[in-house]
Amino acid sequence: MAWQGLATEFLQVPAVTRTYTAACVLTTAAVQLELLSPFQLYFNPHLVFRKFQVWRLITNFLFFGPLGFSFFFNMLFVFRYCRMLEEGSFRGRTADFVFMFLFGGLLMTLLGLLGSLFFLGQALTAMLVYVWSRRSPGVRVNFFGLLTFQAPFLPWALMGFSMLLGNSILVDLLGIVVGHVYYFLEDVFPNQPGGKRLLLTPSFLKLLLDAPEEDPNYRPLPEEQPGPVQQ
């Protein structure tokens, strides 16, 4: 019964958050069970473009290291802030949310080439936290009961805590930079004099993922209107 309740609760989580979180957990479980090796998952340009191991473009975002405090810490932030974005500023805009993932992932991959970064899931987490924090400037955040501050400081607190865990801050900085680029192009530049939206979600994504918009000029047939049907 407990598992059924947990499954029901998980199915109520928005689709993108549910899918990404599940993919991360399953990938880590597969590594723990030795069904997969991290060497099959990390980003390697030579193997991607010369050996056509294109899955590495995705799997490097799904592995957060072996089970341990660092893994659960990252999963907590992924689930919480991905969900708050999807249920908040991206409510009813699943295609736009997926496009943010694609844009962020592409830019991180290109910039990651410069720093020889092999796993970028933590950078993606930092991007999600950054975008949420900039769109929620008035929210006060309690950081594990230790500190309380305004939301825009959260990405930096997260980076500091990550450093205490022994992780490279370069990955967090990459996520913050990409998050800022997205935030600027999506929220700041379009509102400037002469500005416009440059990040336009492809129509096929909207067709696949978003509910069709109702036509404001549509007039239902008499039999579709509420009330008694006129014969």
pLDDT in tens, 77-99: 999 999 999 999 999 999 999 99
Q: What is the pLDDT of residue 183?
A: 96
Average pLDDT over residues 43-56: 93
Count how many domains the chain has. 1
| Residue 230 lies inside a defined structural domain of this protein | no
Closest listed residue to residue 108, CA positions, set 20, 183, 179, 167: 179
| Residue 53 lies inside a defined structural domain of this protein | yes
pLDDT band at residue 224, thresholds of 50, 70 and 90?
very low
> In Å, what is the CA distance from 218 to each residue of 186, 197, 207, 224, 225?
31, 29, 20, 12, 12
Dist. CA 19–CA 135, nearest whole Å: 23
Residue 146: CATH number of its domain:
1.20.1540.10
| Residue 48 lies inside a defined structural domain of this protein | yes
Most confident residue range from 11-15, 55-59, 219-223? 55-59
Classified as helix, coil or strand, 150 is strand
Out of 7-16, 38-47, 180-189, which region has the weakest mean confidence (pLDDT)? 7-16
For 52, residues 6+ apart whose C-beta sits below 8 A from its C-beta are: none
| Residue 1 lies inside a defined structural domain of this protein | no
Q: What is the pLDDT of residue 217?
A: 59
Closest listed residue to residue 121, CA positions, set 197, 76, 172: 172
| Residue 226 lies inside a defined structural domain of this protein | no
Q: What is the pLDDT of residue 12?
A: 84
Contact present, 109 and 120 (Cβ < 8 Å): yes
| Residue 203 lies inside a defined structural domain of this protein | no
Domain residue limits at 182 = 11-192
| Residue 52 lies inside a defined structural domain of this protein | yes
Q: What percent of the chain has pLDDT over 70?
A: 89
Top pLDDT among 72 and 213 is at: 72
| Residue 19 lies inside a defined structural domain of this protein | yes
